[in-house]
Amino acid sequence: MKEQMAFEKNVFNKTSRTDSEIAFFGGMTIVYKSSIDLFLYVVGSSHENELMLMSVLTCLFESLNHVLRKNVEKRWLLENMDGAFLVLDEIVDGGVILESDPQQVIQKVNFRADDSGLTEQSVAQMRIQEMRVIVEHLWTFHCTCRRVPPLKVDSLVRKAVLIKKIIVVLVK
């Protein structure tokens, strides 16, 4: 963790004072873009194609630009972190580039040009669906290991949603 923090600090110190869009640091290829008080970085190995990394960065920036309603700055990003994570999940997964077209990313996260943004209900529906899939996988694994008949997944999801609500209330 300390190594990562030191790496990030060194990358920021190296890139914050220049106008270029690419840097090579610590055996890594780094493409970056700044907007007001926000720096976006895409980091790849030294063998990665810089143009592909730049297309990922452009896709990320343009998708966030849409999600944040043309306000790509730190405050708006922090207030709309759910949407930002959804965008990031559509672009990369485990270091693998899935999409580099911002229009496709926006479409996949259910944003339309006339939408006012991501609603709490759509985020909640996505989270419930994600929890349902996780619970199904865990319960299938549990039942396979113990040879127990599976319980109703919906009741487990309701319990998981209730636990999440309790955690959110406690965190606030």
Q: What is the pLDDT of residues 65-74, one digit of tens each?
A: 988 888 788 8
Chain-centroid distance of CA 69 in Å reads 17
- Whole-structure pTM over 0.75, yes or no? no
CA R_g for the chain: 20
Q: Would you say 26 and 13 are in contact if contact means Cβ atoms under 8 Å apart?
A: no
Q: Would residue 147 be called left, alpha or beta, if left means φ above 0 and alpha means ψ between -120 and 50 degrees?
A: left
Number of Cβ within a 10 Å radius of residue 6: 11
Residue 151 vs residue 63, higher pLDDT: 63
Partnered with residue 38 across adjacent β-strands are 35
Instruction: Name the nearest CA neighbour of 22 among 6, 42, 45.
Output: 42
Task: Please name the amino acid found at residue 149.
Answer: P
State residue 171's pLDDT score.
Answer: 41
